Amino acid sequence: MNIPVQDIWPEATCYGCGPANPDGLQIKSFLSEDSRYLVATFHPKSKFNAGFPNVMYGGLVASLIDCHSVWTAIVFAYKAENRDLGSQPSISYVTGQLNIKYLKPTPLDQPIRLKSYVEGEIGRKTQVLCELGTDNLVTATAEVMAVRIEADKSLGVK
């Protein structure tokens, strides 16, 4: 896929990944070439500092993992149903649980990579595993339970 998966909902205003939120993080995730993972690159700014030089605020680490992982559940649910990404009715997930292990400080002066995949069954509850870090160092890992909801992104939550 050569366009960010988030672009299937151009009106979405999520702070982390909404294309229509000019003040948001604008996370852009892509299906990997082998279609096994969702990957993203984020270019942090110094304003996301944790109070130590060149260290990312932990809440931003959580936000990046959260949005990227929920999109992983969405993408792989569409694939499991043999549907085109974004086809109607929309497939929507929200975060049911977010467990992060902070392994090392995440730097602000280089691109941050995210890589995630579904562990186990894809269903109403889908387990996503995610890692975040630089090209050479994993700084955080997470287990995210994404919960499918009956909602349409274009209409809001029912």
Range with the lowest mean pLDDT among 26-30, 98-102, 147-151?
Answer: 147-151
Contact status, residue 120 vs residue 96, Cβ threshold 8 Å: no
Q: What is the pLDDT of residues 23-55, one digit of tens each?
A: 999 999 999 999 999 999 999 999 999 999 999
CA distance 141 to 130: 6
Asked if pLDDT for residue 1 goes beyond 70, the answer is: no
The pLDDT tens digits for 107-137 are: 999 999 999 999 999 999 999 999 999 999 9
Per-residue pLDDT at 158: 37
Architecture of the domain whose range is 5-157? Roll (3.10)
Does residue 10 have a cis bond before it (omega within 30 degrees)?
Answer: no
- Longest CA–CA separation in the chain, Å: 46
Which amino acid, 18?
Answer: G
pTM: 0.94
In angstroms, rounded to a whole number, what is the distance separating the alpha carbons of residues 25 and 70?
A: 15
Phi, psi for 140 (deg, rounded to 5): -155, 145
Q: Residue 23: its pLDDT value, please?
A: 96
- State residue 72's pLDDT score: 98
Task: Give the pLDDT confidence score for residue 52 in this predicted structure.
Answer: 93
Contact yes or no for 28/16 (Cβ under 8 A): no
Summary mean pLDDT of the chain? 94
